[in-house]
């Protein structure tokens, strides 16, 4: 089976290929003989209700001295393709939402869009985890600074997060009564002139087990990869995110990890979320990453896996 596969993504020239999961997907698609194309957000358009994109034929190789060779870009009707992988990194802003609407037009014509555009709109990576409260530590999402301060006082130490971030950006760890708490809330809430918040903020009870790592569990069509990448904070940094300097260490899934997956996976499949990353600290689910989950290359290298291959096994089955 030869498929035409397009990937909506960030600029390939900025990839760090040793750890880029989108790049692993491109390599796997090419290895299987599929025709691969890339596009960025500026390459999408709708013409009289028809989804179009400026697609660049792409050849890739696993070589840090030169990992891609583009062909000539040209506009094509997206409905001519077999598969589109939506791999644009957050933020999930208005432009990201518009992109999903264009891709949904292609999906309605029979193109396999992964992950499902409607699910990408509905499943905010921070908020969606709250659909599974049995898996989570105490969590509050609010705009009211007084309520967020009350939550911090109740739990003693909390982590504050924006709802649209990635890579650990904009995350604060703070204790109740800290003189910096009000300033942190002002920054995250983007408060108005009367103290009200313009942006919702997530507050979670601090989980000390972060010292052992923030585990990324990858799920392919409802089935977990048997190993997680524990992203372990380094030095004085409390964030384990690799983008924040964390060290990645592969670990087998625990019984608790598998229980969390069992709680979440059926709903992921129902929504058409074929490739998802769960973030787990200690015994608790903290986030569900649906936009562009990563860590596949690190796990592949440490355990001899081919996670992109697992995904394409599924893609080829549903495209048959």
Q: Which residues contact 51 (CB under 8 A, 6 or more apart)?
A: 44, 45, 77, 78, 79, 102, 103, 105, 106, 109
Question: At 7, is the secondary structure helix, strand, or coil?
Answer: strand
Our answer to whether residue 126 is catalytic in this structure is: yes
Question: At 216, is the secondary structure helix, strand, or coil?
Answer: strand
Residue in 28, 104, 287, 298 annotated catalytic: 287
Residue 294, token pair as written in the block: 């990563």
Residue in 231, 257, 298, 300 annotated catalytic: 231
Q: 119 and 272 in contact (C-beta within 8 Å)? A: yes
The position carrying tokens 């983008």 is: 243
Our answer to whether residue 88 is catalytic in this structure is: no
Residue in 19, 88, 289, 300 annotated catalytic: 289
The position carrying tokens 């903020």 is: 201
The full 3-state SS of 41-66, as one line of letters, equals: HHHEEEECCEEEEEEEEEEECCCCCC
Residue in 28, 279, 298, 300 annotated catalytic: 279
The position carrying tokens 């960030």 is: 10
Our answer to whether residue 115 is catalytic in this structure is: no
Instruction: Report which of 113, 158, 316, 303 is spatially closest to residue 225, judged by C-alpha positions.
Output: 303
Our answer to whether residue 124 is catalytic in this structure is: no
The position carrying tokens 């869009």 is: 113
Our answer to whether residue 77 is catalytic in this structure is: no
DSSP state of 291: S
DSSP state of 120: H
Residue in 87, 215, 239, 271 annotated catalytic: 239
CA 233 to chain centre: 20
Our answer to whether residue 239 is catalytic in this structure is: yes
d(CA 147, CA 153): 10
Residue in 87, 126, 205, 297 annotated catalytic: 126
Residue in 88, 216, 271, 297 annotated catalytic: 216
Q: Is 319 exposed, middle or buried (0-12, 13-18, 19+ CB in 10 A)?
A: middle
Our answer to whether residue 150 is catalytic in this structure is: no
Residue in 87, 161, 215, 297 annotated catalytic: 161
Our answer to whether residue 161 is catalytic in this structure is: yes
The residues annotated with a catalytic role in the active site are 126, 161, 216, 231, 239, 279, 287, 289
């Amino acid at each position: 089976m030869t498929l035409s596969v397009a990937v909506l993504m960030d600029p390939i020239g900025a990839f760090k290929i040793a750890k880029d999961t989108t790049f692993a997907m491109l390599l796997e698609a090419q290895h299987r003989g599929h025709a691969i194309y890339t596009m960025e957000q500026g390459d999408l358009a709708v013409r009289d209700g028809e989804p179009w994109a400026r697609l660049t034929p792409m050849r890739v190789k696993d070589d840090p001295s030169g990992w891609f060779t583009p062909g000539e870009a040209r506009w094509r009707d997206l409905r001519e393709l077999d598969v589109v992988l939506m791999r644009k990194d957050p933020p999930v802003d208005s432009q990201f939402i518009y992109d999903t609407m264009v891709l949904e037009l292609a999906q309605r014509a029979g193109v396999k869009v992964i992950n499902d555009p409607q699910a990408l709109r509905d499943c905010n990576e921070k908020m969606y985890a709250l659909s599974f409260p049995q898996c989570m530590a105490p969590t509050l999402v609010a705009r009211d600074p007084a309520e967020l301060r009350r939550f911090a006082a109740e739990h003693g130490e909390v982590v504050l997060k924006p709802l649209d971030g990635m890579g650990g950006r904009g995350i604060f760890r703070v204790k109740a009564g800290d003189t910096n708490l009000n300033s942190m809330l002002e920054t995250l809430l983007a408060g108005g002139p009367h103290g009200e918040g313009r942006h919702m903020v997530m507050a979670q009870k601090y989980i000390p087990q972060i010292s052992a790592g923030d585990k990324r569990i990858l799920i392919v069509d409802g089935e977990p990869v048997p190993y997680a990448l524990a992203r372990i904070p380094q030095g004085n940094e409390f964030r384990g995110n690799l983008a924040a300097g964390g060290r990645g260490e592969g670990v087998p899934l625990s019984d608790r990890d598998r229980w969390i997956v069992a709680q979440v996976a059926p709903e992921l499949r129902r929504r058409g979320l074929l490739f998802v990353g769960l973030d787990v600290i200690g015994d608790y689910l903290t986030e569900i990453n649906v936009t562009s989950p990563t860590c596949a290359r690190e796990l592949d290298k440490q355990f001899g896996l081919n996670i992109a291959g697992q995904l394409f096994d599924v893609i080829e089955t549903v495209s048959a």
